[in-house]
Structure 1
Amino acid sequence: MPEKRKSEAFRAASNHWAKRFKSQAKQGPDGTQDGKNSQDSTPVSTSSTKIPSPIKLLYNPSYSEDELSAVNADTVRIRDLIGAADLKETYQFNFNVDLTFFLSFLHPDFKKEKRKILFITGSKLLDRDYEETYAIEKDYNISEVQAKLPSRFGTHHTKMMINFSKDQSAEIIIMSCNLTKLDFGGLTQMIWRSGKLFYGDTTSSKGSQFKSDLLAYLHSYSKPQIDILAMTLQSYSFQGIDVDLIASSPGSYNTNDEEKHFGYGSLLDACKRNNLLVDNRDKSCHYNILAQTSAISYPFATEKWSTAGVFTHLLCPMLFSKNSEFHLLAPGKQSLRQHQAEHNYTPSIVFPTVGEVASSNMGFASGQAIHFDYSRSFVHRNYYEQAIKPYLKKWNSTPTNSSTGREHVMPHVKLYMCDNGDNWESIRWCYMGSHNLSKQAWGSRKGNKFVNDDPSRYEVNSYELGVLLTPKPGTQMKPSYLSDSGSEYGVTYLRMPFALPPAAYSKDDIPWSGHVSYGELMDSKGYTYNLSH
Structure 2
Amino acid sequence: MDQDTQHGKWTVSSSEDDDEAIPLSGTTTAGPPRPAASGHSSPPGPKLEPVAATVEVKPEPVDPPAASSLAVGSEARQSPLTNQLSPVKFETSPSLAGKRKKEPSDGSGWALSDSDDDDDGDVKRKSLGKKAPPSPKKKKQKAETERPPSPYGRLYVDDPEDFFESSVPCLDDTYRFYLTKVTGLDRKYNSGALHIRDILSPLFGTLKESVQFNYCFDIAWMVKQYPSEFRDRPVLIVHGDKREAKARLLQQATSYPHVRFCQAKLDIAFGTHHTKMMLLWYEEGFRVIIMTSNLIRADWYQKTQGMWMSPVFPRLPEGSGESAGESPTFFKRDLLEYLASYRAPELEEWILRIKEHDLSEARVYLVGSTPGRYVGSDMERWGHLRLRKLLAAHTDPVPGEERWPVIGQFSSIGSMGPDKTKWLTGEFQRTMTTLGNSSLRTDPPLHLVYPAVEDVRTSLEGYPAGGSLPYSVQTAQKQLWLHAFFHRWKATATGRSHAMPHIKTYMRASPDFSQLAWFLVTSANLSKAAWGALEKKNTQVMVRSYELGVLYVPSAFNMKTFPVQRNPFPVSSSSSGFPVPFDLPPACYSPEDQPWIWNIPYSQAPDTNGNIWIPS
For Structure 1 versus Structure 2, the TM-score category normalised by the shorter chain is 0.7 to 0.9
Q: Mapping of 1:270-285 within 5 angstroms?
A: 270-276=390-396, 278=397, 283=400
Query: Which letter does structure 2 place at the counterpart of 1:457?
Result: Q
Q: Could you tell me how far 1:8 is from its partner in structure 2?
A: 6.7
Residues 167-210 of structure 1, C-alpha deviation per residue, up to 9 Å, x if partnerless?
A: 3x000000000011110002100110111001226668744611
1:251 CA displacement = 1.1
Structure 2 CA distance for aligned equivalents of residues 203 and 129 of structure 1: 38
1:137-286 alignment runs, 5 A limit: 137=257, 141-167=258-284, 169-200=285-316, 206-207=327-328, 209-254=330-375, 256-257=376-377, 261-276=381-396, 278=397, 283=400, 286=403
Contact 1:444 1:459 in 2 (8 A): yes
Unmatched 5+ residue regions in structure 2?
1-58, 92-138, 145-149
Cα pair 1:481 1:497 within 8 Å, conserved:
no
Tell me which amino acid in the other structure corresponds to 2:265. K
Task: Supply the distance in 2 between the matched residues of 1:284 and 1:163 (Cα, whole angstroms).
Answer: 40
8 Å Cα contact 1:394-1:504 kept in structure 2: yes
Indicate how the Cα distance of structure 1 residues 431 and 208 shifts in structure 2: closer, same or farther if over 3 A, else same. closer
Deviations 1:430-479 (A, max 9, x none): 00010101111110135xxxx75x3x411111000000012222454122
Alignment gaps of 5+ in structure 1: 327-338
Q: Give how far 1:74 is off.
A: 1.8
Quote how far apart the aligned CAs of 1:527 are. 0.4
CA gap 1:323/1:101 in 2 versus in 1, 3 angstroms? closer
Once the two structures are overlaid, the 10-residue window that deviates more, 43-52 or 217-226, is 43-52
Cα distance change of structure 1 residues 127 and 155 upon mapping to structure 2, 3 Å threshold = closer
**2:565 corresponding residue in structure 1:** 480
Paired residues of 1:159 and 1:176 also in contact (CA < 8 A): yes
Is the aligned partner of 1:416 residue 2:500?
no
**Which secondary structure does the structure 2 equivalent of 1:376 belong to?**
helix
Distance 1:308 1:128, change over 3 A: closer
* From 589, 593, 596, the counterpart of 1:509: 593
Shift of 1:486: 9.6
CA distance in structure 1 between the aligned counterparts of 2:427 and 2:71, rounded to whole angstroms:
31
Q: Which residue matches 1:329?
A: none
TM-score by length of 2: 0.71
Please, which of 314, 317, 329 is the counterpart of residue 430 of structure 2? 317
* Fraction of identical pairs, as percent: 25
Higher relative contact order at CA 8 Å, sep ≥6: structure 1 or structure 2? Answer: 2
Matched, 1:106 2:226: yes
Higher strand share: 1
Cα deviation 1:399-423 (Å, max 9, x = unaligned): xxxx32111000000000002x342
Cα separation, partners in 2 of 1:247 and 1:128, compared to 1, 3 Å: closer
Aligned length: 480
Of the candidates 51, 62, 87, which is equivalent to residue 207 of structure 2?
A: 87
What is the CA deviation profile of residues 299-345 of structure 1, one whole-angstrom value per residue up to 9, with x for unaligned ones? 1xx4xx5454644332212343568899xxxxxxxxxxxx9xx7251
CA distance in 2, matches of 1:180, 1:34: 14
Matched, 1:494 2:574: no
The CA distance in 2 between the partners of 1:133 and 1:427, in whole Å, is 44
- 1:333 aligned residue: none
Moved more, 226-235 or 498-507: 226-235
Q: Is the 8 A contact 1:207 1:239 kept in 2?
A: yes
Contact 1:188 1:406 (C-alpha < 8 Å) held by counterparts:
yes
Distance in structure 2 (CA, Å) of the matches to 1:250 and 1:442: 10
CA distance in 1, matches of 2:172, 2:74: 40
How is 1:6-155 mapped onto 2 (pairs within 5 angstroms)?
Answer: 7=71, 9-10=73-74, 13-19=77-83, 21-24=87-90, 39-40=157-158, 44-45=163-164, 47-48=169-170, 52-63=174-185, 67=186, 69-84=187-202, 86-111=206-231, 114-123=232-241, 127=247, 133-137=253-257, 141-155=258-272
CA distance in 2, matches of 1:505, 1:524: 21
Aligned residue for 1:498, secondary structure, equals: coil
Distance across 2 between alignment mates of 1:33 and 1:275? 43
* Alignment correspondent of 2:37: none
Match 1:376 to one of 471, 474, 479: 474
Opposite residue 428 of structure 1, the aligned amino acid is A
Q: Match of 1:381, as an amino acid?
A: Q
Listed one character per residue, the Cα deviations across residues 346-404 of structure 1 (whole Å, up to 9, x for unaligned) are 1000000100101001111111111212x327xx4242x22x21211111164xxxx32
In the other structure, the counterpart of 1:332 is: none
The residue that corresponds to 1:355 in the other structure is 454
**Corresponding residue for residue 527 of structure 2:** 438
* Cα separation, partners in 2 of 1:271 and 1:479, compared to 1, 3 Å: same
- Maintained 8 Å contact 2:530/2:543: yes
Task: Specify the alignment match of 2:56 in structure 1.
Answer: none
Q: Which residue in 2 is equivalent to 1:296? A: 413
Instruction: For 1:320, give the aligned amino acid.
Output: T
> Taking structure 1 as reference, are residues 120 and 445 closer, same or farther at Cα in structure 2, changes over 3 Å only?
same
CA distance in 2, matches of 1:311, 1:73: 37
Note if 1:470 corresponds to 2:591: no
Q: Measured at CA, do residues 260 and 197 of structure 1 come closer, stay the same or move farther in structure 2, by a change above 3 Å?
A: farther
User: Which letter does structure 2 place at the counterpart of 1:185?
Assistant: Y
Q: TM-score, normalised by structure 1?
A: 0.81
Report the alpha carbon displacement of residue 132 of structure 1 after superposing the two structures with TM. Answer: 5.5
